[in-house]
A = this chain, B = another copy of it.
């Protein structure tokens, strides 16, 4: 019976992969517990939502979805080119930064290649690195920031294919000013690809992002419509870099993969910068109010340039207890799991009504876990 059907063997790197996922979605937790969350503040979504003009554009084009989206996302890339002051061929569009990070790993990594990131940084990047059979080397955060010196040093210590930096950072929300990032870029070895994840760039203080025109042969930068623009569910983000590197994406990407409505929504979002800036202001106001409560409760808010706040609970045991207490109270939040960072919980900044629920739950959770 050697000819009978069997489960074909997956490729070697796939067979070695764990069945874990980088993030467990809130709906998955709701199905496990049987209880819906009262406030959705764990995935750094933007509850202030997209511009009303974006919502109107999606609704207006709902009947047009029988056509594939433009495979070149020409109009969106043209709008981004104007927005970034770059040529269109310096920009590629994809299904969220997650999708683009997957493509980067496929473009540049072979089994055994060395990749440097921070211990506790974005797990979905690590997930895509693992899928290529590459070796992840991590350096610890320093003072709750990604350690630029240590990252550059690790990239110099041995031949390194990719070094990953998120600025502002996730999950801590900290950031480096432009000059420090530019210095980092200059110190990474010239043949190492720098993946600069600027998903939270729009919420950062002026002077955080290098100018969009800062490109290098070994630099790829990524931004998204999922955060400040409030379009997480539409799955649209972009990468920019020197045209030669950007052209490589066309060799493997899903050419008709970016949803037609997502392209329309992203264009409408870019066109309403006033809405985005107003949302960023509201995020800042609500983040500061949360930080004040945190201080009042005797905890410490980590300074944040993002739409979330990492809260130092003083130790991992209390942070774990705080997380559990918040989840039990119907507030979806997450927390870092790696040592040092794991003394924190992370709360996304939502609308005032969600924040009111979060404030009350946080106050109660702090009281309940005070003995830890």
1/0 contact trace for A17-35 toward B, CB 8 Å?
1110111110110010000
A234 near B256 with CB under 8 A, answer no
A14–B218 CB distance below 8 A: no
Residue pair B10, A191 in contact (C-beta under 8 Å): no
- Cβ–Cβ contact A68 & B43, under 8 A: yes
Contact A257 B27 (CB under 8 A): no
Q: Give CA–CA (A211, B217) in the complex, Å.
A: 52
In the bound complex, do residue A67 and residue B55 qualify as a contact, i.e. CB atoms below 8 Å apart?
no
Q: Which chain A residues (66-89) contact chain B, with CB distance < 8 Å?
A: 66-72, 74
Q: Smallest distance from the beta carbon of A90 to chain B beta carbons, Å?
A: 13
Determine the chain B residues whose CB is within 8 A of the CB of A19 once the complex forms: 247, 250-251
Asked if A71 contacts B6 (CB within 8 A), the reply is: no
CB <8 Å contact, A248 and B63: no
Is B50 in contact with A58, judged by CB distance below 8 angstroms? no
| Inter-chain contacts of A191 with B (CB < 8 A) | 5-6, 8-9
In A149-199, the 8 Å CB interface with B consists of: 161-162, 189-193
Instruction: Return the chain B residue nearest A72 by Cβ.
Output: B28
Q: How far is the CB of A161 from chain B (nearest CB, A)?
A: 7
A4 within 8 A of B: yes
Residues in B neighbouring A98, C-beta threshold 8 A? 254-257
Question: What is the distance, in angstroms, from A247's C-beta to the closest C-beta of chain B?
Answer: 7
Cβ–Cβ < 8 Å partners of A45 in chain B: 66-68
Say yes or no: B65 contacts A62, CB within 8 Å.
no
B65 touches A50 (CB 8 A): yes
Indicate if the CB atoms of A8 and B65 lie closer than 8 Å: no
Contact of A66 among B96, B193, B233 (CB under 8 A): B233
Nearest CB in chain B: distance from A41 CB, A: 11
Q: Which residues of B contact A58 (CB under 8 A)?
A: 58-59, 62, 65, 261
0/1 string, A206-225, CB within 8 A of B gives 1:
00000000001111000000
B69 contacts A217, CB within 8 Å?
no
Give the shortest distance, in Å, between A27 (CB) and chain B (any CB): 4
Among A9, A62, A132, A265, residue most surrounded by chain B Cβ atoms (within 10 Å): A62
Q: Do the beta carbons of B71 and A47 come within 8 Å of each other?
A: no
Count of A interface residues, CB-CB < 8 Å: 95
Q: Which A219-276 residues have C-beta < 8 A from chain B?
A: 219, 226, 230-235, 242, 244-245, 247-248, 250-252, 254-262, 265
Contacts of A9 in B (CB 8 A): 108, 191
Q: Is A309 an interface residue (CB 8 A)?
A: no
A140 within 8 A of B: no
Cα distance, A137 to B255, chains bound together (Å): 24
Complex Cα–Cα for A28 and B9 (A) = 39
The 17 listed contacts between A and B (C-beta, < 8 Å) are A3-B189, A3-B190, A5-B217, A8-B245, A10-B248, A11-B107, A11-B110, A11-B132, A19-B251, A23-B71, A43-B68, A59-B62, A65-B230, A98-B257, A131-B251, A233-B260, A235-B257
Taking beta carbons and an 8 Å cutoff, which residues of A are in contact with B? Answer: 2-12, 14, 17-19, 21-25, 27-28, 31, 40, 43, 45-50, 55-56, 58-59, 62-72, 74, 95-96, 98-99, 102, 106-110, 131-132, 161-162, 189-193, 216-219, 226, 230-235, 242, 244-245, 247-248, 250-252, 254-262, 265
Told that A27-B72, A58-B59 touch, could you supply 7 new A-B pairs with CB distance under 8 A? A2-B190, A11-B132, A55-B65, A67-B233, A69-B233, A131-B252, A232-B256
